[in-house]
Structure 1
Amino acid sequence: MRLSPGSLAVPILTVWLLAPWTRGDDPKPPVKMTAQEDHKRMMELLGIKELRRGADGNPKSERAANLDESKANPYLDLPDPLTLKNGKKVTTAEAWTNERRPEIVEDFDREVYGRVPKDTPKVKWEVTSTEKQSVGEVPVVTKKLVGRVDNSTYPLVTVDIQLTLTTPAGAKGPVPVMMEFGFNFGGKGPAPKAGAPPSWQQQVLAKGWGYAIIVPTSVQADNGAGLTSGIIGLCNKGQPRKPDDWGALRAWAWGASRALDYFKTDKDVDAKRVGIEGLSRYGKAAIVTMAYDERFAIGFIGSSGAGGAKLHRRDYGEKVENVASSGEYHWMAGNYLKYAGPLTAKDLPVDAHELVALCAPRPVFISVGSLQVEGGWVDARGMFMAGAEAGRVYELLGKKGLGTSEFPKQETALTDGDVAFRQHAGGHTTGPNWPTFLTFAERYFK
């Protein structure tokens, strides 16, 4: 039978043909699991029956973290950042850049931080507000931005990156910017208490620079239950991770890189002079950002501890077993769990000194608080040792390392080289080290 163009049978037939295709193409909802369930799933995927328990932060516990320096270095041999896997020594900058550096990145990707998918979705930045303010006595312009991540491949997960950018209102051109992994306080930061020293934001502005705050949890949740949402869940279409998929630290670093993409388009920012700063878990994210994205000019790494600038092979404070637990494993690749059972930290193909070395030749400032106030959990000496060992790579590239392997007295600033270190007398904060860092950074941001 021939149907006339005006027949109702045509649209009815069309709907009948399209409907099954539409229904069949509906995406599956994200898998929902608790962190403990996902952690157990990853252990089963790796064939691990049991993980060793981590250290306890309570000094009175039977499993208290070791704070005895005589017992802190059970594994004395660190992987050599200047020896290729075939045993050949690296003696030139070209060999480091073209051969050894890619080997180290591959090991970190596979075993420690996880791989970023080759095709991550694009981010479209939107300035949601522009406000003239004063921070202290400095007139500024603060932009609030949202980075809308393209979720057309999986509409059930939405990722909107939160970012604020504050620059001096009277700047005559683009300015350097320090970006912090932190919380969005409308750009100003919390008001300093009466009689307190200037906030870090005020100190940055006093140099004529700007600052930005990116909210990492707007990129990826800080828990294992969130691994099927956020940017990781979006890229995996709501499915659980594979053992070498990226964890939250790489996801947060990816978000910072997308913010830097935006800065390259903003006439108020000198995108070649953008630094990254973070504290604690965000200190870990800051050193990972510096290591992987060579566009960042400088890093201010605050009390980053295990998984950051602290040597994994140190038994002092937090250990690999702590980071591999169900409360922290989401920061890392699933493969990292292997090193809490049956393997050990000694079996890791890389260590934190090589993470610092990946930042070379760009400057890095390692910050930590005092043993008496902050405590030993983050292992000040372990971070210092990583910085000192990384110096060999800096020197190969024509730069200067820490200049010493002797752990300095508290409040001694080692800032003559391109790797810097200072242990302040305060607690779990970068606050007391901001003045020293800014003096250090001024050498590069002039």
Structure 2
Amino acid sequence: MRPTVLLPLLALVAAVPARADHPPPVQLSAKDDHKRTMDLLGIKELRRGADGNPKSPNAANSDEAKATPYPDLPDPLRLKDGQRVTTPELWRTRRRAEIVEDFDREVYGRVPRQTPKVKWEVTRTEKQTVGDVPVVTKTLVGRVDNSAYPAVTVDIALTLTVPAAAAGPVPVVLEFGFVFPGGKGPALPPPGGKGGPSWQQQVLAKGWGYAILVPATVQADTGAGLTRGIIGLCNAGRPRGVDDWGALRAWAWGASRALDYFETDPSVDARRVMIEGLSRYGKAALVAMAYDERFAVGFIGSSGAGGAKLHRRDFGEKVENVAGSGEYHWMAGNYLKYAGPLTAKDLPVDAHELVALCAPRPVFISVGSAQVEGTWVDARGMFLAGVHAGPVYELLGKRGLGTAEFPPQETALVAGEVAFRQHAGGHTTGPNWPTFLRFAERYVGGPGR
């Protein structure tokens, strides 16, 4: 791929068995790969990110008066040549593609033109009870074809749960989830519990199903894993180029492959699949929603920087934090440029345009309270991304948030296709599930629609 860079790195590869024509993946620490990416970009130093400790001399800004050093946002309805986008056709045929290209090159990275096929296998089918609802749960593995590079294996973990009494295909909420100690998948929610029914029970009460995808089985959440997982498989174990995809796009790719499976499963109405995620997985859920127009509704939880928060906001987490060695693997290598020598102002796109790529499909932006969750994720910055995506929704005959005034906590703005609610809890989507489900039901209806 880049021999001058790779030759010295190959000495770092561990001595593991490999065929002569398939050398093992290059092994680099996140710190070393981060430095390698800076060298490729000709960057000697990055600006320091903000500190989450409010007592630190470099504490993250939480003063709204200082939050907008770059107030001018890119216009989602103006072509690169300056022409105004005044028709849905012009948006669909030209402007949307321009925005996607900018996100691909500078922010999230490019997915290879051809990625390996995924063969889904149902490894277990169980009859269970969630709360008081009988369900059928399938455990699946998506085996990614690694015949081109057998040194990397990618097996995607997915579970699908639907009501046992469903008379036909049902809507499904797909959540980005976790693997627990011992390699076990997501546990069943308790029959009842503190705080009322779980989100799974609330989904089942509507006659819908739910699925949980484990992102770490698609791509590890570390820069040290970039030569493995789906990114490493596609690169034959070599380090990334500066515009190659990062983990957020890889996780979104995994969600799309799950949706491919749903299109073959008679228990799922694949036209009514919703996607949900929290925090870094909220970022991934928004990326999946923006790039794959088959997803019907998005539930984007506390996604912050790299998600729904405006990059140009200096409030809480900053571009410089995401570009650091702990998070850079989420993004394209080119993103590092905007933490030195460039700034967020120089980005050709911003988060409002990521939300706009979801149009005309509905998106619910969720966040917790400043007192409990904190200000790191920047509730107002995510709200404003929804506000500034509104003109695209309106061009396509839909409604935005309907206001540019930040609402009081626990005020649900759900009249349009862009929705927002700040709940009184912490870093969770939990308190917003009832509001989201009522919002989503407008679009996906009941189980038999």
Q: TM-score, normalised by structure 1?
A: 0.94
Q: What SS does the aligned partner of 2:226 have?
A: helix
The alpha-carbon deviation at position 445 of structure 1 amounts to: 1.0
Match of 1:321 in 2: 320
Q: What SS does the aligned partner of 2:210 have?
A: strand
Match of 2:35 in 1: 40
Q: Distance in 2 between matches of 1:142 and 1:417?
A: 34
The alpha-carbon deviation at position 26 of structure 1 amounts to: 2.1
Matched, 1:265 2:260: no
- Cα shift readout 1:89-109 (whole Å, capped 9, x = no counterpart): 000000000000000000000
Q: TM-score, normalised by structure 2?
A: 0.93
Matched, 1:55 2:50: yes
Counterpart of 2:303, as a letter, is: S
Q: Distance in 1 between matches of 2:283 and 2:176?
A: 10
Match of 2:100 in 1: 105
> Residues 121 and 76 from structure 1, CA distance in 2 versus in 1: closer, same or farther, beyond 3 angstroms?
same
Q: Could you tell me whether the CA contact under 8 Å between 1:66 and 1:315 is conserved in 2?
A: yes
Match of 1:250 in 2: 249
> Residues 192 and 320 from structure 1, CA distance in 2 versus in 1: closer, same or farther, beyond 3 angstroms?
farther
Q: Could you tell me whether the CA contact under 8 Å between 2:70 and 2:312 is conserved in 1?
A: yes
Q: What SS does the aligned partner of 1:276 have?
A: strand
> Residues 429 and 150 from structure 1, CA distance in 2 versus in 1: closer, same or farther, beyond 3 angstroms?
same
- Cα shift readout 1:329-379 (whole Å, capped 9, x = no counterpart): 000000000000000000000000000000000000000000000000000
The alpha-carbon deviation at position 191 of structure 1 amounts to: 2.4
Counterpart of 2:60, as a letter, is: A
Counterpart of 1:176, as a letter, is: P
Q: Percent identity between the aligned chains?
A: 79
Within-5 A mapping of 1:48-87: 48-87=43-82
Matched, 1:177 2:172: yes
Match of 2:368 in 1: 369
- Cα shift readout 1:358-408 (whole Å, capped 9, x = no counterpart): 000000000000000000000000000000100100000000000000000
Flag structure 1 segments of 5+ consecutive residues without an equivalent. 1-22
Which protein has the larger Cα radius of gyration, Structure 1 or Structure 2? Answer: 1
Determine which of 163, 171, 180 is the counterpart of 1:168: 163
Match of 1:330 in 2: 329
Q: Could you tell me whether the CA contact under 8 Å between 2:130 and 2:189 is conserved in 1?
A: no
Q: Distance in 2 between matches of 1:322 and 1:316?
A: 12
Match of 1:414 in 2: 413
Determine which of 113, 120, 128 is the counterpart of 1:118: 113
Counterpart of 1:171, as a letter, is: A
Q: What SS does the aligned partner of 1:437 have?
A: helix
Determine which of 83, 87, 92 is the counterpart of 1:92: 87
> Residues 188 and 140 from structure 1, CA distance in 2 versus in 1: closer, same or farther, beyond 3 angstroms?
farther
Counterpart of 1:125, as a letter, is: W
Match of 1:283 in 2: 282
> Residues 130 and 281 from structure 1, CA distance in 2 versus in 1: closer, same or farther, beyond 3 angstroms?
same
Counterpart of 2:314, as a letter, is: D
Q: Distance in 2 between matches of 1:348 and 1:327?
A: 21
Q: Distance in 2 between matches of 1:166 and 1:187?
A: 12
Counterpart of 2:88, as a letter, is: A
Q: Distance in 2 between matches of 1:145 and 1:397?
A: 37
Matched, 1:309 2:308: yes
Match of 2:428 in 1: 429
Q: What SS does the aligned partner of 1:439 have?
A: helix
Counterpart of 2:160, as a letter, is: L
Q: Could you tell me whether the CA contact under 8 Å between 2:421 and 2:432 is conserved in 1?
A: yes
The alpha-carbon deviation at position 136 of structure 1 amounts to: 0.1
Q: Could you tell me whether the CA contact under 8 Å between 1:220 and 1:252 is conserved in 2?
A: yes
The alpha-carbon deviation at position 183 of structure 1 amounts to: 2.0
Counterpart of 1:357, as a letter, is: A
Q: What SS does the aligned partner of 1:228 have?
A: coil
The alpha-carbon deviation at position 189 of structure 1 amounts to: 3.6
Match of 1:18 in 2: none
Q: Distance in 2 between matches of 1:163 and 1:352?
A: 29
RMSD in angstroms over aligned alpha carbons? 1.1
Q: What SS does the aligned partner of 1:26 have?
A: coil
Q: Distance in 2 between matches of 1:415 and 1:188?
A: 31
Q: Distance in 2 between matches of 1:243 and 1:416?
A: 41
Q: Distance in 2 between matches of 1:39 and 1:186?
A: 31
Matched, 1:218 2:213: no
Q: Distance in 2 between matches of 1:346 and 1:434?
A: 35
**Equivalent pairs, count:** 424
Q: Distance in 2 between matches of 1:384 and 1:145?
A: 36
Q: Could you tell me whether the CA contact under 8 Å between 2:297 and 2:363 is conserved in 1?
A: yes
Determine which of 152, 156, 165 is the counterpart of 1:157: 152
Within-5 A mapping of 1:227-238: 227-238=226-237
Q: Distance in 1 between matches of 2:63 and 2:225?
A: 37
Counterpart of 1:309, as a letter, is: A
Counterpart of 1:342, as a letter, is: P
Counterpart of 2:313, as a letter, is: R
Q: Distance in 2 between matches of 1:247 and 1:190?
A: 32
Q: What SS does the aligned partner of 1:301 have?
A: strand
Flag structure 2 segments of 5+ consecutive residues without an equivalent. 1-17
The alpha-carbon deviation at position 190 of structure 1 amounts to: 4.0
